[in-house]
Amino acid sequence: MSTTDLELADAPDADREPDFSDFDDLVVKRRFARLRRFGSNYGAAAGVVVLMVVAWQVIVHLAGLPEYLMPVPTEVARSLGDDWSAILAPATLTTLKEVLIGFAIATGVGVGIAVFLHLFGPLRRALYPLLIASQTVPVIVLAPILVVLFGYGIVPKLVIVALICFFPIVVNGLDGMRSVDDDYIRMMRTLDASRWAIFKRVEFPAALPLIFSGMRIAATFASIGAVFGEWAGSNAGLGYVMLEATPNLQTARIFAAIFILTVISIVLFGAVSVAEHLIAPWSQRRTSR
Amino acid sequence: MTQTTGSAAPAVRDTGPPPSRTPLEAPQITVRGVSKRFGGVVALRGVDVTIQQHEKVAILGPSGCGKSTLLQIVAGLLEPDAGSLNVAGATSAKDRLARCAMMPQRDLLLPWRTALDNASIALENRGLRRREARERTRPLFERFGLAKFEELRPAQLSGGMRQRVSFIRTLMAEKDILLLDEPFGALDSITRAQMQEWLLHAMEDVPRTVLLVTHDVEEALLLADRVVVLSAHPGRVVRVVDSRLSLSGPRREIVTDPEFVKLRELALEALE
């Protein structure tokens, strides 16, 4: 039997099989759909933010609160403009460095620990409960101790950011690697796969989407860690700017710093999503419904 | 519990093909007195099956009769509680694993690999470079009607095409023994019929010893030279049907031929 007969035999399935002439077209259409989905996903959220900012402005104005107690959004925006080049920009750079390097360390160490614990079962049983128990230690209170140990430089901030961020990555990574369907493992074993081949070709790629969602959770914690590190002892960074502004009642500047921290978190979160899209495109969850 | 007649009847022993056709060489797969229980449930009791090289044998039985368990035992994924196996000289589970390639019921294609990369995974597992593995697998895509689909992801393929990729992946393990575990069980009936015909021709192209597990009577009779009927709870051999058909032609004509209908009656009767 020739292959053409087989293809004809497949005709009832035709609507499910991509036709090659249309393939590029299909990709383009999908891109547009994604853009529209982005709009419908975040458009509503943007509207809520705008509403809240307006409400904030109106309420504070009507209540007649002084700026040092509660600045209105326009004052925060003015502080953002006036203080940017002299104060906020260098502070942002310092804090951004702490966040990014700390987050990178957390990702590397987190994935490393997850892989290690996954491949060595007895070790996992011994250490995993301890790992979870370690999370009951409020990492933030360690900040002063770390400052004593490592000084006012970047090191204690990196340690804190990494300590806060690595946990969701480890837990998600481990869960992802362990939750692979046994059928896949069996299939690989009948195809001459070694333990390492199963890990490399099945378990690790299968865990990537979960590792990325762990990283997304971690991304929202990272800037908190950096600020606490700076509060415990520093002479630069957004946390330091906030500490300095408080006794001077420069409340608008504090809010401006908070705003920048939020932007850092959102950008990091978005960067993780973009990285996931590039590295693990198959993990796109169906959001069209 | 209600099937007292079934379990009281003496187990039928499958001792290989009828004597007239028995080759002089030793059988390639010998399953002798294999039993397996899971907790309190007896999945298999005293199963005997003998298969010659390049013979195609179907294990037919209702769901839950332990036929997939039998396949996993032959494959070396499980050890039986009692009985012995010889699979191309291998007796231990580890050695059996190296002799057989298994095609699972679900295609189990990895979503992060293209069709071609999925199909060549066994070669990569054996240490070949990815590019080399791909080039060795590529001709089979042409041969099995999948040319031009090499670089698509599983999600972009239809169910029938995914199953074909899965079959090529199993072939690329380059084992003489293929174990097919309800290979088309997850497909709709139209696609399944097409795939049965496809597999029939594919197997003419690449002679292998095939042990096929199915609950589809027609599939068993069409694809296999011999059908071993298994009862449920516990799984034991109740009948062996010689299904070497003298018929040829399209599937539609075969399944309505009196010879085929008679064999189907024979198998269905044993299943009751």
CA-based torsion, A75, A76, A80, A86: positive or negative: positive
Q: Which residue spans within chain B are E strands per DSSP?
A: 29-38, 41-51, 56-60, 82-87, 100-103, 177-181, 209-214, 226-230, 237-242
Q: Inspect the interface and report whether the beta carbons of B191 and A13 lie closer than 8 Å.
A: yes
What are the b/e assignments for B149-182, b being 16+ CB within 10 Å? bbebbbebbbbbbbbbbbbbbbbbbebebbbbbb
**Looking at the partner chain, which of B108, B152, B157 has a beta carbon nearest the beta carbon of A187?**
B108
CATH of the domain at B234: 3.40.50.300
Q: Does B130 touch chain A (CB under 8 A)?
A: no
Min CA distance, B51 vs chain A (Å)? 20
Kindly identify which residue of chain B lies nearest to residue A203, measuring between CA atoms.
B110
Chain B contacts of A20, Cβ < 8 Å? Answer: 148
Give the minimum alpha-carbon distance from B242 to chain A in angstroms, rounded to a whole number.
25
Summarised one tens digit per residue, pLDDT across range B192-221 is 888 888 888 888 877 889 999 998 888 888
**What is the identity of the amino acid at A172?**
N
**Domain housing B266:** 4-107+181-271
Q: CB contact, 8 Å: B26 with chain A? A: no
Distance between CA atoms of residues B22 and B138, nearest Å: 37
Domain membership of residue B96 (yes or no) is yes
Tokens of B161: 């095409």
- Structure tokens, A155: 């090191």
Contact B37, B81 (CB under 8 A): yes
Nearest to A91 by CA among A220, A245, A289, A285: A245
Quick check: is B243 in a domain?
yes
Q: The complex's ipTM?
A: 0.84
Residue A269 burial (CB count, 10 A): 17
Q: Do B157 and A17 touch (CB under 8 A)?
A: yes
Chains A and B form CB pairs within 8 A to the count of: 89
Contact between chains at A184 and B110 (C-beta distance less than 8 A):
yes
In the block, tokens 């003496």 appear at: B10
B143/A186 Cβ within 8 A: no
Please check the confidence at residue B91 and state whether its pLDDT lies above 80: yes
Please indicate if any CB of chain B lies within 8 Å of the CB of A27.
Answer: no
The Cα–Cα gap between B170 and B190 comes to: 23
CB atoms within 10 A of CB B234: 21
Cβ count near A200 (within 10 Å): 14
Dist. CA B103–CA B193, nearest whole Å: 18
**Would you call B125 and A201 a contact, using CB atoms and an 8 Å cutoff?**
yes
Work out the minimum CA distance from B52 to partner chain A, whole angstroms: 21
Q: Is B126 on the interface with A (CB under 8 A)?
A: yes
pLDDT, tens only, B138-197: 999 988 888 899 999 999 998 889 998 999 999 999 888 999 998 888 788 888 888 888
Please state, in angstroms and rounded to a whole number, the distance separating the CA atoms of residues A88 and A96. Answer: 12
| Domains of chain A, residue spans | 1-64, 68-283
DSSP summary character for residue B26: P
B213, B71 Cβ separation under 8 angstroms: yes
**In chain A, where does DSSP find H-type helix?**
3-9, 23-63, 73-83, 89-119, 121-134, 143-150, 155-178, 182-190, 195-198, 204-232, 238-245, 251-279
Q: Name residue A279's amino acid.
A: I
**Is residue B244 situated within a structural domain?**
yes
Q: Which residue has the higher pLDDT, B109 or B23?
A: B109
User: Is residue B89 within 8 Å of residue B54, measured between CB atoms?
Assistant: no
Mutate to test the interface with A, among B69, B79, B121, B165 (most CBs of A within 10 A): B121
Average pLDDT over residues B41-56: 88
Please tell us whether the domain made up of A68-283 is placed in CATH 1.10.3720.10: yes
Count of domains forming chain B? 1
Asked whether the bond before B250 is cis by omega within 30 degrees of 0, the reply is no
Q: Which pLDDT score is estimated for A26?
A: 62
Sign of CA dihedral B110, B113, B114, B116: negative
Terminal-to-terminal C-alpha distance of chain A = 43
Burial of residue A217 (CB within 10 Å: 0-12, 13-18, 19+) is middle
Taking CB atoms and an 8 Å limit, are B198 and A187 in contact across chains?
Answer: no
Query: Could you give the angle at which helices A204-232 and A251-279 cross, rounded to 10 degrees?
Result: 160
Q: The whole model's pTM is what?
A: 0.81
> What CA–CA distance (Å, rounded) separates B69 from B94?
16
pLDDT tens string, chain A, 289 residues long: the values are 444 444 444 444 444 444 455 555 666 667 677 777 777 778 888 999 999 999 999 999 899 888 888 999 999 999 999 999 999 999 999 999 999 999 999 999 999 999 999 999 899 999 999 988 888 888 888 889 999 999 889 999 999 999 999 999 999 999 999 999 999 999 999 999 999 999 999 999 999 999 999 999 999 999 999 999 999 989 999 999 999 999 999 999 999 999 999 999 999 999 999 999 999 988 765 443 3
Cβ–Cβ under 8 Å, residues B101 and B178: yes
Name which of A148, A134, A131, A108 is nearest A232 in CA terms: A148
Nearest CA in chain A to B202: A1
Contact at 8 Å (CB) between A280 and A100?
no
Is B143 close to A282, i.e. CB distance below 8 A?
no
Quick check: B100 contacting A, CB < 8 Å? yes
The residues facing B53 across adjacent strands are: none
pLDDT of residue A285: 54
CB distance from A183 to chain B under 8 Å?
yes
Residue of chain A whose Cα is closest to the Cα of B154: A282
Structural contact between residues A111 and A211, judged by C-beta atoms closer than 8 angstroms: yes
* CB < 8 Å to A12, chain B: 190-191
Give start and end residues of each alpha helix (H) in B9-92: 67-75
Note whether B245 and B218 are within 8 A (CB).
no
User: Under DSSP, is residue B83 helix (H, G, I), strand (E, B) or coil?
Assistant: strand
